[in-house]
Amino acid sequence: MASTAIPTSTSVVESAVIRAPLSNVWHLIKLQDFAHFWSALKSSEFVKGVSNETDVVKWTFKDGSVVEVKQEEHSVSPRRRLSY
């Protein structure tokens, strides 16, 4: 008997390649500043009092949806991991 379950996911992973030296763009990649260059966002701002361990930023999209994004930094790699 075939399953009728709908596949679901608890996380979303997206990526993009920016053709620029890391030292030229690293200072631009800040969650609270994404609204400056991502046209889908209406605003991006810090959420205070959510976590003592990491920064949380609220992204408000132009369509009205809101997502809180947690940033985790790791010193062993120049990558930033975003968690929803």
Q: Give 10-43 pLDDT, tens digit per residue.
A: 766 777 787 888 788 777 778 888 898 888 999 9
pTM here? 0.56
Say if 57 falls within a structural domain.
yes
- Mean of all residue pLDDT scores within the chain: 77
Residue 80 has pLDDT above 90, yes or no: no
Q: Tell me the one-letter amino acid at 29.
A: I
Say if 79 falls within a structural domain.
yes
Residue ranges of E strands in 1-84: 41-46, 55-61, 66-73, 80-83
Percent pLDDT > 90 in the chain is: 23
Instruction: Specify whether the CB–CB gap between 70 and 83 falls below 8 A.
Output: yes
Residue 45 has pLDDT above 70, yes or no: yes
Into how many domains does the chain fold?
1
Rounded Cα distance between 39 and 78, Å, is 25
Say if 60 falls within a structural domain.
yes
